[in-house]
Amino acid sequence: MLDICLAGTGGMMPLPYRHLTCLMLRHEGSQLLIDCGEGTQIALKRRGWSFNPIDYILFTHFHADHISGLIGLLLSIGNAERKDPVTLVGPRGLKQVVSSLRIIAPELPFELEYMELGAQPQESLQLGAFHITAFKARHRIPCYGYTVEIPRQGRFQLEQARALGLPVQLWGILQRGETVEYEGETYFPEMVMGPPRKGLKVSYCTDSRPTDNIVEGVREADLFICEGMYGEAGSQQRAAEHMHMNFEEAADLAREAAVKELWLTHFSPAMPHPEEYLEVAQAIFPNALVGKDGLSKTLKFEE
Amino acid sequence: MLDICLAGTGGMMPLPYRHLTCLMLRHEGSQLLIDCGEGTQIALKRRGWSFNPIDYILFTHFHADHISGLIGLLLSIGNAERKDPVTLVGPRGLKQVVSSLRIIAPELPFELEYMELGAQPQESLQLGAFHITAFKARHRIPCYGYTVEIPRQGRFQLEQARALGLPVQLWGILQRGETVEYEGETYFPEMVMGPPRKGLKVSYCTDSRPTDNIVEGVREADLFICEGMYGEAGSQQRAAEHMHMNFEEAADLAREAAVKELWLTHFSPAMPHPEEYLEVAQAIFPNALVGKDGLSKTLKFEE
């Protein structure tokens, strides 16, 4: 199960009813955030999500609207009695940027751990139960999209387990993915587990021109959350000038990547009612939604 | 005339309905802000105040809840096509702190000018039409309160002007405070202007223990805006431990300084309904109000 909440949907500048861009994910009590513009701590409070379980914060890039809420967020995490380290992930320079911002919050009751992304177009990371693929985007400064996956192991093969002659009470160890030593023999999980089943896959990409590398990174996601800075049909040129995407380009990516569902986000402050342009996206990719602050969904493993 | 708006009343952490601490003042088209915690740009938008005329931003101190909204605010000022410099005033280290925060906003379309306060208990500055007194407060780090005054010149003395034999069309120059050369003689404003009349005076002090220097700095203000971190009667010890003031201490200062009106602000996030403690303050200083986001007032010169 993976809880998804689009905490903020604003690009560039917040509006009174629209927080800056932030995506929140929750799986088995662990929270992962992607981006935290100014006001993210308020958005979290508004949605009732806790601060203490925030284990990971990923940054697409270092423009202010994606990171200006970090200091307030870290202070609120500290105030929620967090003691365990929080891991930050982002483009090269992450530690320098965060350290510089921390001039107004030099003391925190927990450690920060940094993972800076390298030069490859696609990079894999394991953050607790979250399997991450960072994929390069194309913006004015180094920028990444992220795919977050919750893998799902194969079915337990009852017949094979019986055939091994292992006592039933040892089956659970193999099911948890561990090896069993029994009467001088070694038993491996793959002896009783079927091939991995379809897991859960959410992708997030903002502040980029469309690229093949994005299509690759988000392919067949259950949910693709993509920037739609401009809604109007035919606004591709404006989007290109500002190194952003419009609704049509986001919908094109969703179609090419064969994702299941598309949420648009990161709206220009000059577009107070992005829902007016929903049809522009749906004409290309019917299962598109125009995001709004608080839009939530829970993904579950297929039956 | 001086417009006053308490844009945010939160201390330490914002709440969904309470922005972090910020005071906005406006006089003859020029705006002055004191402090700008995270979300200040949203608070300004919510109140309908413009970004372009923000000429001065004063900081009491560099704890995050008083400055974490600066970067977003500067970007919004830039987006409002500001070209003139913006002056920042604050404790020593101001330029270093702001430069460090600007790692995520290195380019702005206007200059920043810095005025760092010195070691004196009271310091005077002239910022356009705003006459400022910065007075030292007592917190865990260097901290100042501010008194903002709009002085008012004396009445024009018609009889004295006539007695000088100056042509009527030159009177206005003296009224504007300038010197006039006429038929080989020099005429000074004070020859026709009466003594200065009572101007307007607003004082602001947060994050401090009560001190005599604060009483001195805010004496006889028309409006004194003071932190009331804790409301409960008898919470002085808790306030002292955290180097803050409670409602009673703020009301004591207001009474000692003989101000006309007191607004309480900078409430602990653990106090969602500070208005419940209004009577605690009013028992000491009857003309007290518990601030809330957006509380506004316009001070006018006395008739």
pLDDT of residue A177: 86
Mark whether A41 and A110 lie in a shared domain: yes
A179 CB near a chain B CB, below 8 Å?
no
Do residues A118 and A173 share a domain? Answer: no
Rounded to two decimals, the ipTM of the complex is: 0.92
The per-residue pLDDT for range A73-118, each reduced to its tens digit, is: 999 999 999 999 999 999 999 999 999 999 999 999 999 999 999 9
For CA atoms B262, B268, B272, B276, the dihedral sign is negative
A141 touches chain B (CB under 8 A): no
A56 has pLDDT over 90: yes
pLDDT tens, A257-277?
999 999 999 999 999 999 999
Which value, in Å, is the radius of gyration of the alpha carbons in chain B?
21
Q: Which of these ranges, A182-196, B33-47, B228-242, has the smallest mean pLDDT? A: A182-196
The residue from A170, A195, A220 where one domain ends is A195
A273 & A137 share domain: yes
A127's enclosing H/E stretch is: strand A122-127
What type of residue is A227?
E
- The pLDDT of B199-219, averaged and rounded, is 98
The catalytically annotated residue of A55, A65, A222, A293 is: A65
Assess whether B168 and B282 both reside in one domain: no
CB atoms within 10 A of CB B171: 18
Residue A300 lies in a domain: no
Helix B40-47 to helix B70-79 angle (10° resolution) is 50
Residue B70 has pLDDT above 90, yes or no: yes
Residue A88 lies in a domain: yes
Provide φ and ψ at B162, rounded to 5°.
-60, -40
Cβ–Cβ below 8 Å for A62 and B100: no
Which of the four pLDDT bands, split at 50, 70 and 90, describes residue A119? Answer: confident
Tell me whether residue A115 is in a domain. Answer: yes
Among the partner-chain residues B68, B104, B105, the one whose CB lies closest to the CB of A104 is: B68
The SS3 assignment for B183 reads coil
Is the C-alpha dihedral spanning A127, A130, A136, A137 positive or negative?
A: negative
Within a domain: A200 = yes
CB contact under 8 A, B13 and A76: yes
Can you tell me whether residue B100 is helix, strand or coil? Answer: helix
Domain that holds residue A27: 2-153+196-293
For residue B166, pLDDT beyond 90 = no
Average pLDDT, chain B: 96
Which amino acid, one-letter code, is at B289? L
Determine if the pTM surpasses 0.80: yes
Q: Is the pLDDT of residue B165 over 90?
A: no
Kindly state whether A103 is in contact with chain B, defined as any CB-CB distance less than 8 angstroms.
Answer: yes
* A303 within domain boundaries: no
| Backbone phi, psi, residue A67, to 5° | -140, -5
**Nearest CA among A71, A119, A65 for reference residue A92:** A119
Residue-wise pLDDT tens digits, B222-273? 999 999 999 999 999 999 999 999 999 999 999 999 999 999 999 999 999 9
Q: Which of A130-144, A173-187, B118-132, B234-248 has the lowest mean pLDDT?
A: A173-187
Residue B169: predicted pLDDT: 87
Closest partner residue to A100 (CB to CB) among B62, B68, B103 is B103
Based on its alpha-carbon atoms, the radius of gyration of chain A, rounded to whole angstroms, reads 21
Residues B211 and B280 in one domain: yes
Report whether A51 contacts A77 (CB < 8 A). Answer: yes
Asked whether residue A112 falls in the same domain as residue A248, the answer is yes
Question: Which stretches of B28-165 are assigned E, i.e. beta strand?
Answer: 30-34, 54-58, 86-90, 112-116, 122-127, 130-136, 144-152
Name B133's Cβ contacts closer than 8 Å, sequence gap at least 6.
B122, B123, B124, B125, B146, B147, B149, B217
A268 within domain boundaries: yes
Least Cα separation, residue B164 to chain A (angstroms): 59
A43: nearest CA in chain B?
Answer: B16
Tell which of A164, A195, A226 closes a domain: A195
Q: What is the pLDDT of residue A295?
A: 98
Closest residue by Cα to residue B144 from B58, B230, B255 = B58
Do B14 and A72 count as a contact with CB atoms less than 8 A apart?
yes
Q: Do A42 and B15 touch (CB under 8 A)?
A: yes
C-alpha B103/C-alpha A101 separation (Å) is: 7
A52 & A184 share domain: no
Note whether A131 and A220 are same-domain residues: yes
8 Å CB contact of B64 and A75: yes
Given a cut of 90, whether residue B40 has pLDDT beyond it is yes
β-pair partners for A261: none
β-bridge partners, A54: A31
Q: Please identify which residue in the block is written with the tokens 């522009």.
A: A280
Contacts of B103 in chain A (CB under 8 A): 62, 96-97, 100-101
Nearest to B16 among A42, A69, A75 (CB): A42
- Collapsing DSSP to helix, strand or coil, B212 comes out as helix
Q: Residue B63 is nearest to which of A16, A65, A104, comparing CB atoms?
A: A104
Can you tell me the distance from the alpha carbon of B255 to that of B224, in angstroms, rounded to the nearest whole number? 11
Phi then psi for residue B122, to 5 deg, are -135, 135
Two structure tokens written together for A264: 């648009």
Average pLDDT over all residues of chain A: 96
Q: Decide if B72 and A38 are in contact by the 8 Å CB cutoff.
A: yes
Claim to verify: residue A94 and residue A170 sit in the same structural domain: no
Of B16, B39, B62, the CB nearest to A104: B62
Which segment of A32-41, B170-179, B260-269 scores lowest on mean pLDDT?
B170-179
B contacts of A13 (beta carbons < 8 Å): 41, 72, 75-76, 79
Residues of B with catalytic function: 65
DSSP A292: -
B132-148 pLDDT, tens per residue?
999 999 999 999 999 99
CATH of the domain at B261: 3.60.15.10
Considering its fold, how many domains does chain A have in total? Answer: 2
Tokens standing for residue B1: 């005339």
Does B236 lie in the same domain as B116? yes
Residue among B70, B61, B60, B134 at smallest CA distance from B99: B70
B15-39 pLDDT, tens digit per residue, is 989 999 999 999 999 999 999 999 9
Q: What is the pLDDT of residue B276?
A: 98
Mutate to test the interface with B, among A68, A75, A102, A107 (most CBs of B within 10 A): A68
Q: Give the residue from B14, B3, B1, B62 showing the smallest Cα distance to B40.
A: B14
Identify the pLDDT of residue B119.
85
Do B133 and B173 share a domain, yes or no? no
Q: Answer yes or no: do A104 and B67 touch at CB < 8 A.
A: yes
Other Cβ atoms closer than 10 A to A269 = 17
pLDDT for B45 beyond 90: yes
- Determine the Cα–Cα distance for residues B91 and A7; give it in Å rounded to an integer: 35
Around B64, how many Cα atoms within 13 Å sit in the side-chain half-sphere?
23
pLDDT of residue A79: 96
Residues B138 and B166 in one domain: no
Range from A121-130, A159-168, B62-71 carrying the lowest mean pLDDT: A159-168
Q: Quick count: other Cβ atoms within 10 Å of Cβ A299?
A: 20
For residue A15, pLDDT beyond 90? yes
Q: How far apart are CA B226 and CA A202, in angstroms?
A: 48
Tell me whether A108 touches chain B (CB under 8 Å): no
Average pLDDT over residues B119-130: 96
